[in-house]
């Protein structure tokens, strides 16, 4: 069974993805691009995403550091 999506109450995400596909597509393109990078700051960006989700920030306005 796929894990629950942290961005919505009903979505299921794939095991290696941060969000379900619907939530992922709702994020701004620049945010998606930054979250897709695999570099030294990747974990910082992921923690920032989770903090924004926990705070109830709408997906369409979430921004993460470059």
Domain assignment present for residue 48? The answer is yes
Domain assignment present for residue 3? The answer is no
Domain count, the chain: 1
Q: What is this structure's pTM?
A: 0.87
pLDDT at 29: 97
Domain assignment present for residue 50? The answer is yes
Q: Which neighbouring-strand residues pair with 4?
A: 12
Binned average pLDDT, 10 residues per bin, the chain of 66 residues: 84 88 96 95 96 96 94
What is the DSSP annotation of 7-35?
A: TSSS-B--TT-SS-HHHHHHS-HHHHHHH
Domain assignment present for residue 4? The answer is no
């Amino acid at each position: 069974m796929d894990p629950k999506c942290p961005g919505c109450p009903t979505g299921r995400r794939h095991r290696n993805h941060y969000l379900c596909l619907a939530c992922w597509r709702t994020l701004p393109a620049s945010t998606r691009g930054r979250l897709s990078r695999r570099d030294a700051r990747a974990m910082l960006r992921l923690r920032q995403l989770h903090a924004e989700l926990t705070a109830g920030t709408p997906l369409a306005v979430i921004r993460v550091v470059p």
